[in-house]
Amino acid sequence: MKRLETDPPRSDAQIYDFFGLLCYHFRLHITGGGNLTPQEVVDILGWFLPWLRQLDQHDSRPRMLARRRLMRSRWQATSDELARSQVARQSAEWTAFSRMWRRAGTFFPPVPDAAESPFEPLERCGWGECLCSVHKPAHRMRICRGCWLVAYCGTKCQTSDWEHGEHQRRCRRRGA
């Protein structure tokens, strides 16, 4: 196996982010759009599996739950693409990759159901004077990075809620 010239991920967040990139690139290779050999793809996944093993199984912060759910869905999408393409039957390397990929899915800590997720009910703006706090918005909501429990239309609504609303007293990011 060639030595990979990159620093290993140092935190769970970095591991999840790096895994998201790997999912994207693996799907490219599965569909024939990548420029690595099958053996190089297997080597990269083999290099990364020990980092998946070290994930904190008990981190239940909303941000980490959201990352876990996202990575699990990316892993599943890549698994589905792998099953559709039948590349695992093309060579021994792809068969090894398929086995390792299924094993990678077992390293993800359990993800709560969507009903337990703090992100599902965040369909309305947290600033009470915004029209989007009453009507479901057509645009994408942005979640407060201090507590990850309230969504806003944008920085204007978040700033207004911070200065004139209740959020400053409830947010974990006090004083920011």
pLDDT in tens, the chain (176 residues): 445 556 666 788 888 888 888 888 888 888 888 788 888 888 888 888 888 888 777 777 777 777 787 888 888 888 888 888 877 778 888 888 888 888 888 877 666 654 444 444 577 888 888 888 777 788 888 888 888 778 888 889 989 888 887 788 777 665 44
pLDDT at res. 117: 47
pLDDT at res. 85: 84
pLDDT at res. 118: 47
23 neighbors 75 (Cβ within 8 angstroms): yes
- Give per-residue pLDDT as tens, 122-157: 778 888 888 887 777 888 888 888 887 788 888 899
Dig out the tokens for 45 from the structure.
């996944």
pLDDT at res. 119: 45
Q: Quote the pTM value.
A: 0.59
Write out the DSSP string of the chain.
Answer: -PPP-SPPP-SHHHHHHHHHHHHHHHHHHHTT---S-HHHHHHHHHHHHHHHHTS-TT---HHHHHHHHHHHHHHHHHHHHHHHHTGGGT-HHHHHHHHHHHHHHTTSPP---GGG-TTTT--S-SSTTSGGGTS--SSPPEE-TTTSS-EESSHHHHHHHHHHSSHHHH-SSTT-
What's the one-letter identity of residue 62?
P
